[in-house]
Amino acid sequence: MFDFAVFGSLFLTLFVIMDPPGITPIFLALTSGRPVKVQRRMAWQAVCVAFGVIAVFGLCGQQILDYLHVSVPALMIAGGLLLLLIALDLLTGKTDEPKQTKDVNVALVPLGMPLLAGPGAIVSVILAVQKAQGFGGQVSVWSAIVAMHVVLWLVMRYSLVIIRVIRDGGVVLVTRLAGMMLSAIAVQQIINGVLQVVEAA
């Protein structure tokens, strides 16, 4: 039987962690200057990558981490460092990467992972799948995961309208703000990972 409590709890948890409203300025900054069709494709690719990563870790995440001898804090610190590098590029306006490579990288990294499918979301899904009881519980968990990714796609898909309104000057401003936000997220993620390492020691 479908468990609405499990569905609501995981959906809200993922909504807070993956933060669709907060991802909008970052998505706009990373995809600015590209054709609308390319931006829409990148939104779809990013959501597909995030869902794929979440699904894999939901099905066999604990086994993967145990096999690789990787702890959750290590995953958080690595993700934070990766986000910090992207944030510095946004803040400095660095755009010397070839467009073809940049298109692929933005959809996969950092949008798909670790921005959307970050350590927090991965751990939450692993725990939710482990705690879900029976077929109904599993259906509720995976329904919440799918629903969250649909919301993410809708937010990024229709955020493209904002680009047409704010124009080039606004995009530059959004890019700098996104860099600031992303750097803060990255530093906080690194701090959380280090604190967990210290607590476990």
Helix (H, G, I), strand (E, B) or coil at 86: helix
- The CA angle 191-27-119, to the nearest 5 degrees, is 35
Burial of residue 23 (CB within 10 Å: 0-12, 13-18, 19+) is: buried
What are the structure tokens assigned to 109, written together?
Answer: 């990294």
Q: Residue 24: how many CB atoms within 10 A of its CB?
A: 17
What are the structure tokens assigned to 1, written together?
Answer: 């039987």
pLDDT tens series, the chain, 201 aa: 889 999 999 998 898 788 887 788 888 888 877 888 988 999 999 999 999 999 999 999 889 888 988 887 888 888 788 778 878 877 887 644 434 444 455 778 888 888 899 888 898 898 899 889 899 999 999 999 999 999 999 989 988 787 677 766 776 777 788 788 878 888 988 998 899 899 987
| pLDDT reported for residue 105 | 56
Q: Give the position of tokens 């725990």.
A: 127
CA distances from 36 to 31, 49, 172, 189 (A): 9, 20, 18, 32
| pLDDT reported for residue 5 | 93
| pLDDT reported for residue 14 | 92
pLDDT tens, position by position, 71-115: 878 888 887 887 788 788 778 876 444 344 444 557 788 888 888
| pLDDT reported for residue 103 | 45
In sequence order, which residues have a C-beta less than 8 Å from that of residue 188 and are 6 or more positions away? 80
pTM equals: 0.74
